[in-house]
Amino acid sequence: MNRIKCYMGIDVGSVSTNITLIDEENNVLDKQYLRTEGQPIESIRKGLKDIDRRIGKNIVVSGVGATGSGRQLAAAIVGADVVKNEITAHAVAAQKTIPDVRTIIEIGGQDSKIILLKNQVVHDFAMNTVCAAGTGSFLDRQASRIGIAIEDFGSYALKSKNPVRIAGRCAVFAESDMIHKQQMGHSREDIIGGLCDALVRNYLANLAKGKRLDSPVVFQGGVAANIGIVRAFEKALGVGIIIPEHFDVMGAYGVALLARENVQAASGKTQFNGFDKLNGSYTTESRECSGCSNCCEIVQITLDDDPVACWGDKCGKWSGTA
């Protein structure tokens, strides 16, 4: 039986861990969207085990890419051919879906980005530096505070006839302003609608900063599932917004594409450790190095007493040891 050759992209974010499998024609074969819940190693293992159980027999992994804030960790555990930052990964994925894309709006769990392209090359980007008011975690929190499921958040916003104005500068102010509006007797729909508008205002003020956002505009990241935010963006920008099919795993998709490109161009051999290795026990140990006054915090990851990765040092004394 012929196994399908596929490439894996892993995006370990603050809130979610996404895994994507693509085939030689860049089609998405499988995708996973898991909550990281502060345990990146566990969530990677869970995701991979699930893939192995379901389709492990039919596929052969020919390349692996890692991205997201936990990319180093993912790369060490799984064995990655490419380790790439989120910005590049998202840009690559969006370009694959919409080749002439000019603006990418990406809002994830704890950060948001804007990527601008010209002549199919990234020519400017920004990541939020001021606060997390516009991101998924904040929406999650507000949804649970109002007592609705995050999945219903968008449909509530759409029902709003007269969205209230909420201060969106900062998460703390937005929340207290929201509570105030709630106590004044505004409807839940109008408050949620107002919150969506405020978050979009915050995003445009902090990230776009007067830059020209040309169409086509692509919106990706977990928050793109929120129809309320999408409509608010369309209202603010005055253009239609494209949500790619795999909007929630675009980072993983992008880095899978990069893995395919790299493995095919280079040796053609993958660094992937295989699914079996995941059954071993991983332990992480952190300590403070006392070699010099830098006092670096060293993290060492071991698999069954075998050190697989080490980082955190400034001088390279430890990171070379694994």
Partner 1 sequence: MKITFPHIGNTYITAKSFLDDFGSEYVVPPFNTNKTLELGSKYTSEAHCLPFKLFVGNMLQAHELGADTMLITGGCGPCKLGYFGEMLKKTAAEIGIKMDIITLEVPDQGIKELAARIKKVSGGSNYLNVAKAVNAAKNVAVQLDNLERLSRIKRARQLEKGSVDKIYRGFQTGILEVSGSKEILKFIRQTEKTLKKLPVNEKARPLKVGIVGEIYTTIEPYANFSIERMLGNMGVEVTRQVTVSGWIINDMLKKGLHLPVESEDVRESKAYMSSMVGGHAHHTVGNTVVHAKEGYDGVIHIYPLGCMPEIVSQAILPAVEENHQIPVMTIIRDEMTGEAGFNTRVEAFVDLIKKRREEHLNEQNKMLYGY
Binding pattern to partner 1, positions 268-307, x when CB under 8 A?
Answer: ------------------------xxxx------------
User: Which residue in 147, 265, 290, 306 binds partner 1 (CB under 8 A)?
Assistant: 265
User: Which residue in 1, 25, 99, 121 binds partner 1 (CB under 8 A)?
Assistant: 121
84 near partner 1, judged by CB under 8 A: yes
Q: Smallest gap, in angstroms, from Cβ of residue 91 to partner 1?
A: 8
Size of the site for partner 1 (CB under 8 A): 31
Full strand arrangement of the beta sheet holding 28-35: 28-35, 16-23, 4-12, 59-67, 82-83
Q: Round the CA-based radius of gyration of the chain to a whole number and report it.
A: 21
125 near partner 1, judged by CB under 8 A: yes
User: Which residue in 38, 185, 268, 316 binds partner 1 (CB under 8 A)?
Assistant: 316
Residue with tokens 């109002």: 146
- Which amino acid is residue 39, in one-letter code? Q
CB 274 within 8 A of CB 37: no
- Which amino acid is residue 315, in one-letter code? C
SS (H, E, C) 196-265: HHHHHHHHHHHHHCCCCCCCCEEEECHHHHCHHHHHHHHHHHCCCEECCCCHHHHHHHHHHHHHHHHHHH
Q: Which is nearer to partner 1, 85 or 155 (CB)?
A: 85
Span of 25-33, 82-90, 150-158, 189-197 interacting with partner 1 by CB under 8 A = 82-90
Q: Smallest gap, in angstroms, from Cβ of residue 112 to partner 1?
A: 12
How many residues belong to the chain? 322
- Report the 10 Å Cβ neighbour count for 206: 20
Q: Smallest gap, in angstroms, from Cβ of residue 127 to partner 1?
A: 7
Q: Which is nearer to partner 1, 164 or 171 (CB)?
A: 171
User: Which residue in 173, 261, 277, 280 binds partner 1 (CB under 8 A)?
Assistant: 261
User: Which residue in 17, 43, 62, 88 binds partner 1 (CB under 8 A)?
Assistant: 88
- Which amino acid is residue 267, in one-letter code? S
**Rounded distance, CA 273 to CA 271, Å?**
6
Residues near partner 1 (CB under 8 A) are 69, 81-88, 92, 119-125, 127, 129, 258, 261-262, 265, 292-295, 314-316, 320
